[in-house]
Homo-oligomer: A and B are copies of this chain.
Amino acid sequence: MKFFINKENLLFAIQSVQRAVSQKSPLPILTGIKFSCEEDKLVLSATDFEISVRCAVPATVEESGSLVIPARYITEFARRLPDSIIEFEAGPDSTMAVIRYGDSEFNINGYDASEFPSFVIPEEEFSFKLDADLFKEIIKQVTFAVSTEESRPVFTGVFFEIVAGRLTIVATDTFRLALRHTAINEETPELINVIVPGKTLNELARTADPKSIVEVIIGKTHAAFITGEIQIIARLIPGKFPSYRQVIPNQFISEIKIPLKDFLESAERVALLAGENNLLVSLYIRENHVVLNMRSETGWIREEIKSEVNGDKLEISFNVRYLCDVLRSINYEQLVVRFTGPLTPALIIPEDNKDYLSILVPARLSRE
């Protein structure tokens, strides 16, 4: 292997794949990035078996071949290289990389690339395309509700359901649920549903270029997300996602219309008083305003927000962090919150948009 590359392309490729590098794998080779070159491309790939990322960039290839280089060193090193053409060459036994720049040279022990897991785009069952900025938005709107408890794997994922030109994505940790519908151009002949790890989707939403297109390919055991020269493969989570339709309430005793900005800012101030023993914010639904209230050993806070209120007066308590999570993740000016009772789930929806909803389960007041 021997190639020449400029610093900018090298850095872009390394930064694109580095999040998939295994931090503490029992297999040392997975702490490396695979460098592979042929024709006029350098192809980098990394995997921790849950997520695999591959990125191709232009390079002047003198001799094809591949080599795995420890990510920890090459990432920092590439950032500190001079802005010049960099030469990479595999040492004689193909496990050492020799990197030349100016009159200097860096030699680093690597691994035999033949032992690196191969990168295979899953065989396509169904695929569709979305604008990357829409993809980022819908992912952000649901992933806050993903569970972090590894003991119940299906809740750590985001459910993708596709039927009749409509994609529905759902996440829940049983205390809250977030759901988003999006139209897609492709029609699927039958219902498709899979669970994609939430962490992978967050990573994808973080890195995707907002101006690009994301192609989503769904296979039997894996899904692939392709945007520009970057390909990401995620292992699907096996299991059955809970039936979300039956938990969406449809009868309500009262409803408020409230500006998101005011609601979020008040909730965030209230959250400052939250400690390990007091996470509950009480909402008092009154005639033309909502009061948020929390009391702790340190003090108490009372936030009053003007709001259109219809239906019964009500007092209900939520985990204040869960309330902040949902308000931070959605991006609509005016929200409608519908209540089914003081101890039953509330529904949060945008005022003029039927594509999004979120459900929040109330908590009993700790002083009860």
Contact = CB atoms under 8 A, between A and B. Distances in A.
Interface of A: 70, 73, 76-77, 80-82, 96, 102-109, 265-266, 268-269, 272-273, 289, 297-304, 306
B73 A266 contact: no
The 7 nearest A-B residue pairs measured at CB? A108-B299, A103-B304, A104-B303, A106-B301, A107-B299, A107-B300, A105-B302
A77 B272 contact: yes
A299 B103 contact: no
Contacts of A304: 102-104
A73 B299 contact: yes
A268 B107 contact: no
Contacts of A269: 77, 80-81, 104, 106
A291 to B, nearest CB: 9
B106 A73 contact: no
Given A73-B298, A298-B70, A299-B96, A104 B272 contact: no
Contacts of A103: 289, 304, 306
B73 A272 contact: yes
- The copy count of this chain in the complex is 2
Nearest to A106: B301
A29 to B, nearest CB: 14
A303 B106 CA distance: 8
Contact of A80 (B102, B107, B272, B298): B272
Contact of A301 (B70, B82, B105, B265): B105
B265 A80 contact: yes
Contacts of A265: 80, 82
A269 B301 CA distance: 52
Contacts of A109: 297-299
Contacts of A303: 104
A51 to B, nearest CB: 26
A73 to B, nearest CB: 6
B105 A73 contact: no
A272 B105 contact: no
A106 to B, nearest CB: 5
A90 B338 CA distance: 39
Contact of A76 (B73, B272, B297): B272
A57 to B, nearest CB: 22
A82 B259 CA distance: 15
B266 A104 contact: yes
Contacts of A300: 106-107
A107 B273 CA distance: 10
Contacts of A102: 304
Contact of A302 (B104, B272, B306): B104
